[in-house]
Amino acid sequence: MKSHRFAWLLLPFTTALPAPYYLLKPPAPPGATPINLSTWVSLLPPGISISSLSIPGTHDTMAYLKSGRRLPPTTQTQHNDLSTQLRKGIRYLDLRLQHHNDRFTLHHGKVYLHFDLPEVISIIEDFLKGDGKDETVIVRIMCNNCYFAGKGGGNKGENGNTRTFAETMEWYRNENPSTRGFFSNRVYRGKGIPMLGDSRGKIVVLQDFPSPELV
């Protein structure tokens, strides 16, 4: 077997790279104004549609280590907690809800992430009441186990559920005292894709579960 040797060219940071080869974290231009990532959406004009923006987001947003809890190495997808993600400019959240005993908990696949829906809503609410009062957050809500019939499914009559996923969502929206105010005040309810001026301080829900439109 022949041996091969490879020569690596190491470029100093001062080397100018031709487009499209750029450093992953290029320095800001001289005199550039620093941006507070907690409030970057508020800097944009109100007449911009959110569909025209490149919006940073996280996959399986809640799959991070929680104090006193452990996750399998293959489950953790995030290093930062939700509050830190929001402060660092994340504006798209991926929430996967397990329907169990007529309640919603956060899961990554089969793994329970040690959060329930009211706890996640509380974190988002704290952000929107503070630095995020003029921000827009897009939230994908997915039923994690609705698509698995039989053991472990999220439908009515399975996994201890006496309601459908949609009916439990209605309960959180209209009856649960810890969440109904959030759904009433924070969820954008206009038709179509909103402009930023119409969704300041609100969440825009991307509904990813089988039901009529709920939120």
Alpha-carbon gap, residue 94 to 178, rounded angstroms: 21
Give the model's confidence band at 7: pLDDT under 50 very low, under 70 low, under 90 confident, else very high. Answer: very low
Contacts of residue 72, Cβ cutoff 8 Å, sequence gap at least 6: 111
Query: What is the strand order of the sheet 202-208 is part of?
Result: 111-116, 103-108, 92-100, 136-143, 202-208
Average of per-residue pLDDT across 167-177:
96
Report the pLDDT value the prediction gives residue 209, as an integer from 0 to 100: 77
**pLDDT, position 177:** 96
Nearest to 90 by CA among 131, 151, 33: 131
Q: Is residue 14 over pLDDT 80?
A: no
Map tokens 């929107």 to a residue. Answer: 128
Q: Does residue 182 sit in helix, strand or coil?
A: helix
Q: Sorting pLDDT into bands at 50, 70 and 90, what band is 31?
A: confident
- Angle subtended at Cα 186 by Cα 183 and Cα 190, rounded to the nearest 5 degrees: 90
The answer to whether the beta carbons of residues 91 and 136 sit under 8 Å apart is: yes
- Residue 100: is its pLDDT beyond 50? yes
Task: Give bridge partners of residue 136 from the DSSP assignment.
Answer: 202
Q: Give start and end residues of each alpha helix (H) in 146-210.
A: 165-174, 180-186
Superfamily of domain 58-208: Phosphatidylinositol (PI) phosphodiesterase (3.20.20.190)
Shortest CA distance to 205 belongs to which of 197, 196, 189? 189
Question: 212: pLDDT confidence band, cut at 50, 70 and 90?
Answer: low
Which pLDDT score, from 0 to 100, does residue 21 have? 44
Query: For 43, phi and psi rounded to 5 degrees?
Result: -80, -15
Average pLDDT over residues 176-201: 95
Q: What is the mean pLDDT of the chain?
A: 87
* For residue 6, pLDDT beyond 90: no
The pLDDT value recorded for residue 107 is 96
Q: What percent of the chain has pLDDT over 70?
A: 85
C-beta atoms surrounding 27 within 10 Å: 8
Task: Return all residues near 104 (Cβ < 8 A) that are at least 6 apart.
Answer: 97, 98, 116, 117, 168, 169, 172
The amino acid occupying position 32 is: A
Contact present, 172 and 183 (Cβ < 8 Å): yes
- Is 145:155 a contact under the CB 8 Å cutoff? no
Give me the pLDDT at residue 20, please. Answer: 45
Mean pLDDT is lowest, of 41-45, 146-150, 188-192, for: 146-150
Return phi, psi of residue 89, to 5°: 105, 0
